[in-house]
A = this chain, B = another copy of it.
Amino acid sequence: MTVEQTLPAPASAACCTPLTAEPLDLAEAQDFARILKALADPTRLRLVSLVAAHEGNEACACDLIDPVGLGQPTVSHHLKILVDASVLHREKRGIWSYYSLAADTLERIAAFLSPA
């Protein structure tokens, strides 16, 4: 029987060091996890960084296929996941889709990850 197993831990005595800020509630945590899951892939991170590296933080799909070294259907699939998670915005112009950073989403995540 270890001390950890026998910890009585009534809710009122759970914290022995004071909380100085508000931790994430479950709904916020689920929302951030959904966005981070979309980002947690090397190809998708490279696509986001390629969009960010283009003038005006916007790139045509035609700019993104060659640099990641994958076929157009695979790149489209990854871009869709990023759009669905509100990491990128998509705008159709003529025959091509243009992708831009969803700055508000990325700022929320960056602000959460910036240590106090």
Residue A74 is within 8 A (CB to CB) of chain B in the complex: no
The secondary structure that dominates the A interface is helix
A52 to B72, CA, bound (A): 41
Count of A interface residues, CB-CB < 8 Å? 62
What is the oligomeric copy number? 2
Contacting pair A95 B3 (CB below 8 A): yes
Contacts of A22 in B (CB 8 A): 53
Contacts of A59 in B (CB 8 A): 17
Contacting pair A9 B45 (CB below 8 A): no
For A5, A29, A60, which residue has the most chain B Cβ atoms within 10 angstroms?
A: A29
Within 8 A of B (CB), among A1-51: 3-5, 7, 9, 11, 14-24, 26, 29-30, 32-33, 36-37, 39-43, 45-46, 49-50
